[in-house]
Amino acid sequence: MAFVFTDDNFQENALAETGVAVVDFWAEWCGPCKLVGPIIDELSHEYEGKAKIGKLDVDNNPQVSMQFGIRSIPTLLFIKDGKVVDKHVGTATKATLKQKLDALI
């Protein structure tokens, strides 16, 4: 299962750590998010120990969403060594996301 990012743990788990993190900004009511969600779960399992991959519910965690200017969901942020290095807005295939991840690891 994918890591659950929150306003409270985001700094510690996405920005303060070295390595790669992928954060899926989503909401329960978002149809396209329901397409990306299972892919994020699969990738979190496949990249366990290589990258921290998880989800952040924008309805329950508005601070991080505002901090990064998230206006559309799903939005995925790719973070390496505490800095946002890539961003993907909208749905994506597993192959596309794997390609982005592999380029960062």
Catalytic residues: 30, 33
* Residues 18, 24: Cα–Cα separation, whole Å: 19
**Token pair for 20:** 């790669």
- Are 90 and 72 a contacting pair, CB within 8 Å? yes
**Token pair for 60:** 């329950």
Q: Which amino acid is at 33?
A: C
* Residues 105, 96: Cα–Cα separation, whole Å: 15
